[in-house]
Structure 1
Amino acid sequence: MKLAHRYTILFLVVVLVSGGVLLTTFTAHRSDVTENAETDVTDRAEQMATFLDNELREQRRVVEFAATDENAVDHGSEAQRAILESFVETTSFNGVSVVDETGTIRALVTDDGPQTDLVGSDISDRTYVRRALAGEHYVSEPFTADTGNRIAVMSVPLAVDGETAGSINAAYHLDSTKMFSVLASKDVDASVTVESNDLMLYSTAGDKETITRQAALDVADWTVKAHYSKDAIDASTRQLAVFQGVVGLVLLGTLAIFGGWVYRAQILQINQVLGQLNALEQRQYDQRVDLGGGHEWEQIEQALAELREALTQREQMLLVHNRILRHNLRNKLNVIRSQTELLDAGDETVSTETTKIRRATDTLLQLADRARTTDQLLDPPEQDARVDLSRVVHDRATAIAESYPALSVTISAPESAYAACGAEIGTAIDELLQNVVDHAGPEPTATVTVVEAGEYVVVRVEDDGDGIPESEAEVITGDHDITQLHHTVGIGLRLVDWIASRYDGTLNVPQTGGTGCAIEIELPRAHPPDETAA
């Protein structure tokens, strides 16, 4: 996979992971907002219930203290009236009454003063009276009194000599009491409702949909409900979404900018380097690259420029050398050969010497022809090339046998064996067979084997000559550099190695351990034409 594709996939993965993290974080924070609001509402309901419990307990203690005054049971006296008037004036209650043990009102004082018209009324059927006469300290459920006020009554028994002699009953006017006003919140989205058996005593709630939590009082059968507007929660969630969206855009924008910078500063630069290397491989030396973005890239650009100049100079030198071999030297050799033939025709005594000159000249002319082949190898190889090595071996063996009748060639090959190489592989086979002719004696024998071995095709040429020394074989295969002490006699086998390497193949010179020579060419295997078409 190309680096650019890997980078794109990695960048998309980073973007998706970052987006997933942002989405997960937003979902978690949104849940936190709702949970925090619900927790706050629950806590507020419990706090308000605790406040009302404490307030009612405190007021009940006030009533209990008033019940300890002995003048409270002195019915009809001025002292009893004074006690009740003082109680109304100094407490938060709106009225107070005293009933005797029969449940008859003996005294009644309200914010408007003594209410004598109700004195003598029998209220023994009222729950708060019955509970107090039974010895309980009781807070009644809200009800509508004879005066038309919605009230709640705290009743405490009056005791004389340990016996219940009546009760003192203090009343709240629920419509005007200030006890509930402290429950109101300055937060317009928060509201409260106080109920007793579905009877609303106090409420600041409107018609909006709210989150509601409730708590019950211990002192009275009252319920406090705390409310919080869902619109406010939704608004907080929207603000969170906007904030998360801005953060997400900033993050993704930063990633995009950083990713674009990395792509331009690294991936495109690498592509330019690869393009330059490919151009050099294709012998296109006029292409240049302009790499910026840092000192390291400038060093790479300089190194590529130096490599391009060096390759250009070396190819020019190689072309000059090849031209010398192909033209200048060949022309001179042709002149020498012509003069040799004239000498040979004019004087038979020099025939032996001229024959040696002619053979040497022919050898040098063959060397010039090989130089032309090396020049062709500089061109890029053909893409998707394939050759049937079995056919090539048969054709080349037949051709060389016609030129050298003394050569005996035995071939062992399958019907077809396709290798991923070009037609110049025929030149390599020619060189191997020519090597047998040149070095295997007057009656050379060659055995050529073509074998398909896994993903490779191997051509093995064996002869009965003297073999190749190990040191020279190392130079041929590139295992040892050419020096004054380590070198090859000719260009033929090196030409074979170049042709094999041109198609990702190898030239091997296995040591036989005895007489004879063995040389192998290993080339990548290719599919036959019918399989490729399928």
Structure 2
Amino acid sequence: MKTRYVFFLVLLFVTAVLTGAIFVGFQEYKATLSAESREDATRTAVHVGSELASQFSGRRQTVRLVAATPALGRHGTDAQRATLRRLVAETQFSGASVIARNGTMTSIVSDLTPAERAALIGSDFGDRIYFQRAMAGETYLSEPISAESGNDIVTVSTPIRHNGTVVGTLNGAYHVPESWFADGVTASLGREDGLTIYAQSGRVVYSEPPQRGATTVVRNASIGDTGWTVSVQSSQRTVQSTIRAVTYLQVGSILAVVFAIGGFGWWVYRRNLHQVERLLEGFTRLENREYGTEIDVRGGEEWQQIEAGFDEMSRSLARFEHERREREQSLREFKRAVEHAGYAVFITDPQGTIEYVNPAFEEITGYPAAEAVGATPTILNSGEMSEDYFARQWETLLAGEEWDEEIVNERRNGTRYVARQKITPLTGEDGSVEEFVAIQTDITALKDRERHLQTLSRVLRHNLRNKIGVIVGSAELLVGDGGDVDEAVIGDRIVDASQQLTDLAEKERRIVTLLTSHPRRKRIDLAATIESVATRVRRNHPDSRITVTCPADVTVVGIDELQRGLYELVENSVVHTDGSATVEVTVDPREETVAVAIEDDGPGIPENERPILTGDADIEPLSHGSGLGLWLVYHTVRLSDGVVTCTDGTPTGSVVTFELQRADPCSDRDGERQNR
């Protein structure tokens, strides 16, 4: 999400929180105002009810006090009527009467005419509730009764006792509402408030409606123990006016907060956030490897410094990226070179633990990378090198110098090889050794060639000296004074020695060619090759019998000199047999190899020369020409990736068997590509 969106979301959140707080605060205040208004209405209703209860209580108390006057117990007397007149004159009662315990009215004082009063005297009021309640001992406030004047009359009745006995009731009557009633009750109300008083029966005793159009809150309260109820309709006009003012203030405050935060946000955006966005866009381009990117923040001095710093960093990254790509290209080229190198390369840490090996290492040593990595070079230790050799090696390497020596190692399969090993220590900036890089060149074949050539040289020098000695000695006999010398015999001896020297030279030439020319293997038609060898031997040795048993479609992998080696072996069987020699050549095709067995009936190959044929021993200087021939056969088969064995024949002679690899269908094309 872009920075501006995040910033604006934060602003919206802050705005929402502040405006919400303001809104909730004002709502709470308005709710408080409304609650206080309702509480005021409740208090007013309770106050009015208390006032009325107090008035009613006062009147009932007045009636009880007057009822205690002894004169009231004397029915129909002037004293009784005088007491009633004082009650009406001195209190707010509009009338008063006495009813005897039998229900007959005995006296009355009121604003009625004398005739009307006379008519009431002696009348039976025993069925009136206020009389019955008073006779029961209760000071009772009656329900309103409609008078002819249109007003409602309320009667307060209380029992009259004489010597502890109820002898009648005193009944005080007054009109409701009265001016004192209205003034006393409505004094605590507001100008716009309304008031309604209900008797116990629910009849409206007094009603003052609220001002027209005013919204009111109605609250009720009981008037003491009278059972009457007062209902106050409290006008909410003032409260509503205040709430409207508060609402305007609320809206204004919210708008002020919104505009203030919006203005502040816009100022921050234009002052800083806009530049931050440009800076972040630049970093995004750098993350996408668009090194060299420059930005334009267009801000104050601080932002100009940031812009300059960013541009310089971007240019530096562009330079570093260019250098990195060049290094990566060099590393890729180096890796390709190492991966395709013909020499083994392995890298170790300072403790000698192998961290990397190239494919040539796997091919030369036989150890796969998964097995070599994590091990140490001691897996290659053949036991041929002395402790002093390795001590000198570590001393040289830890001194930061290169080590370049030959070493005899052992492959995974147990065979040994000779390598020219060069180890280079890689050091860090502080000069400490961080890694060792070792390069091994397999020089086993070179060492073998050197050894074979040295051996061949010794054999050739020895045989040359012998044969030349024979020739020189024979020649001296011819030129000497001895008269009994058989010149023919001596001449034959010289010719034979010369021929042997020629054969030695030819075999030496062929062996040297094999050891130095790196002959390539190719697909060879074995049946045709053996038939050609047999034909040639038959032609050169007509007395010999050469038999060949070979399928017509047998092909093997070998070098061109394989035919010469077969010829050397067959001819060697013929020339070393007195008389007519018999040689049998048998070809046995197998699943992956082809075995060629050459069996003769002559004296066989001497035991001391058989190791030369099988490769178990080098040729010795005392060996004669046949030894060189066997050595030629061994190298021919070895370079054809074959093996040679030699056993005794039955009953005489010997059986020489060499086993070659069968050629697959692609071997011929592979051979052609190699020759090209």
- Residue in 2 that maps onto 1:264: 270
Instruction: Write out aligned runs for 1:362-381 (5 A).
Output: 378=319
Instruction: Write out aligned runs for 1:384-463 (5 A).
Output: 426=329, 429-430=332-333, 445=343
Change (3 A) 1:460 1:88: farther
- Residue in 1 that maps onto 2:152: 150
Q: State whether residues 140 and 220 of structure 1, in contact with CA within 8 Å, keep that contact through their aligned partners in structure 2.
A: no
Taking structure 1 as the reference length, what is the TM-score of the superposition?
Answer: 0.55
Q: 2:169 aligns with which of 167, 170, 182?
A: 167
- Residue in 2 that maps onto 1:469: 426
- Residue in 2 that maps onto 1:46: 46
Helix, strand or coil at the partner of 1:257: helix
1:223 is aligned to 2:229: yes
**Could you tell me how far apart the structure 1 residues matched to 2:46 and 2:7 are?**
57
- Residue in 1 that maps onto 2:95: 95
Deviates more, 1:201-210 or 1:221-230: 201-210
- Residue in 1 that maps onto 2:184: 182
* Per-residue CA distance 1:398-444 (angstroms, 9 max, x = gap): xxxxxxxxxxxxxxxxxxxxxxx98995465346668x79xx9xx97
How many Å apart are 1:311 and its aligned residue? 8.4
**Could you tell me how far apart the structure 1 residues matched to 2:59 and 2:237 are?**
38
Change (3 A) 1:307 1:149: closer
- Residue in 2 that maps onto 1:6: 6
How many Å apart are 1:169 and its aligned residue? 1.0
1:132 is aligned to 2:134: yes
1:253 is aligned to 2:259: yes
**Residue type of the alignment partner of 1:470:** T
**Residue type of the alignment partner of 1:201:** V
1:204 is aligned to 2:127: no
Q: State whether residues 278 and 296 of structure 2, in contact with CA within 8 Å, keep that contact through their aligned partners in structure 1.
A: no
Change (3 A) 1:303 1:164: closer
Change (3 A) 1:188 1:255: farther
How many Å apart are 1:261 and its aligned residue? 2.8
Taking structure 2 as the reference length, what is the TM-score of the superposition?
Answer: 0.45
| Residues paired across the two proteins, number | 363
Higher radius of gyration, 1 or 2: 2
**Residue type of the alignment partner of 2:65:** F
Change (3 A) 1:147 1:157: farther
**Residue type of the alignment partner of 1:143:** I
Change (3 A) 1:283 1:446: farther
Query: Which consecutive unaligned segments of at least 5 residues does structure 1 have?
Result: 293-297, 316-373, 382-420, 449-457, 475-479, 481-485, 487-508, 518-534
How many Å apart are 1:152 and its aligned residue? 0.7
Helix, strand or coil at the partner of 2:230: strand
Q: 1:515 aligns with which of 438, 442, 451?
A: 438
- Residue in 2 that maps onto 1:356: none
**Could you tell me how far apart the structure 2 residues matched to 1:192 and 1:516 are?**
116
**Could you tell me how far apart the structure 2 residues matched to 1:248 and 1:143 are?**
60
How many Å apart are 1:510 and its aligned residue? 10
* Per-residue CA distance 1:211-270 (angstroms, 9 max, x = gap): 333232333231112223467666555444333222222222222223223323331233
Change (3 A) 1:183 1:447: farther
Q: State whether residues 426 and 436 of structure 2, in contact with CA within 8 Å, keep that contact through their aligned partners in structure 1.
A: no
Higher RCO (Cα < 8 Å, 6 or more apart):
1
**Residue type of the alignment partner of 1:267:** L
Give percent identity, aligned residues only: 26
**Could you tell me how far apart the structure 2 residues matched to 1:47 and 1:462 are?**
112
**Residue type of the alignment partner of 1:98:** V
**Could you tell me how far apart the structure 1 residues matched to 2:284 and 2:55 are?**
92
- Residue in 2 that maps onto 1:301: 304
Q: State whether residues 192 and 226 of structure 1, in contact with CA within 8 Å, keep that contact through their aligned partners in structure 2.
A: yes
* Per-residue CA distance 1:143-163 (angstroms, 9 max, x = gap): 124665411111122222222
How many Å apart are 1:174 and its aligned residue? 0.7
How many Å apart are 1:28 and its aligned residue? 4.2
1:241 is aligned to 2:247: yes
Q: State whether residues 99 and 166 of structure 1, in contact with CA within 8 Å, keep that contact through their aligned partners in structure 2.
A: yes
Helix, strand or coil at the partner of 1:198: coil
